[in-house]
Copies of this chain bind each other. A is one copy, B any other.
Amino acid sequence: MTIKDIARISGVSVSTVSRVLNQHPDVSEEVRHKVLEVVEKYNYIPNNSARSLGQTKSDNVGLIVRGISNPFYTTIIREIEKDIEDAGYTMVMQQIAATEDELLAGAMMEHDKRLLGLIFLGGRFDYTRDQISSISVPFVNCSFNNAYGTLDETTYSSVSIDDTQTACEAVRELYKEGHRRIAVLLSRPDDGSVSQIRYEGYVKALTEIGMVPEEDLIISVGSYNIADAYHGMLEWLDKGVEFDAIFSISDNMAMGAMRALRERGISVPDQCSIVAIDGIEVSEYVAPPLSTYCQPMEELGRTSVELLTDLIEHKGDHKQVILPTTFREGGTISKRA
């Protein structure tokens, strides 16, 4: 029984079956129901076709990348791929949307690909013990940690920057240059992920400075996409809120916002300063080059693989590693007169 048999019997395409099994949102309830009925009837265990039935062992290490259009991941993926290979394993990658559940994708991949271990690149910061119980191989959270979760430090591994502290520094930098109406560009302030934790750094900075965070200054665009940042920024600008600076939770979103500002005739940095976090290559080539706090991408990837292989080979215990960022000056911050 393969996924193709399930598709044939259900009268739908293989990719529809795959979407159902991966709990993808864009499948109708009717189709989902029909497919799951067939899956149950034939007691089908997703196992990537009959070809793999002969296998009992693998050297596969999984990489689940959440947030598929994020250019920030490109360098990290490359480093992880190289280091997994150098360590004698095979990387199996799956890219999922930021709206999908990485733990479910990981659990299915563990089963389908007989994984020895898993790296989650991007994900929620709020795993509970119950949620991670679906994963039975060692895993490492890369670029995020368990800040909002309930995991015991001895039971999980993560490699990340200090998101809150970096956001806090970024906002303080804007304040230091004289800005007092500092907006924050983010996906959602409560997404349990990067958007939320960096937003909290923004709030922390303002509070420490003695300013009151204002609802009006939250530019919440609902995703991490450059296109959504651009459109969301345009909409927000049309509200006419007074502001003199923007802290963007990512380089990618900052580039979308910069186009919106340009189209509304707002000059960066003269009329609006911008600072972001991530430090992707291309944001150094926009006009003006983006001022941003760079994540140590190679090191994030390398350390994740080191932690994971140590766990797989029983040479190390769980660790939470925090890596430092470096400020790239750029040209999007001006001193306010």
Interface residues of A (CB under 8 A from B): 2-4, 14-15, 18, 48-49, 51-52, 54-60, 68-69, 71, 74, 78, 81-83, 85-95, 113, 116, 226-227, 230, 252, 255-256, 258-259, 262, 281-282, 285-287, 289
Contact = CB atoms under 8 A, between A and B. Distances in A.
Contacts of A113: 90
Nearest to A14: B86
Given A78-B68, A226-B281, A88 B56 contact: no
A48 B89 contact: yes
What is the total number of copies of this protein in its complex?
Answer: 2
Contact of A59 (B15, B51, B285): B51
Given A78-B68, A85-B18, A287-B287, A282 B226 contact: yes
Contacts of A14: 86-88
B286 A285 contact: yes
Given A256-B285, A287-B259, A88 B2 contact: yes
3 interchain residue pairs of minimum CB distance: A49-B88, A15-B86, A51-B59
Contacts of A93: 81, 91, 93
Given A58-B51, A226-B281, A88 B3 contact: yes
A229 to B, nearest CB: 9
A301 to B, nearest CB: 12
Given A59-B52, A69-B281, A92 B91 contact: yes
Q: Which of A4, A230, A281 has the most CB of B within 10 A?
A: A281
Contacts of A59: 48-49, 51-52
A231 B259 CA distance: 25
B74 A71 contact: yes
Given A55-B57, A81-B93, 15 more contacts: A14-B88, A15-B86, A49-B59, A49-B88, A51-B58, A52-B57, A52-B90, A55-B55, A60-B90, A91-B93, A93-B93, A226-B281, A226-B282, A259-B289, A286-B286
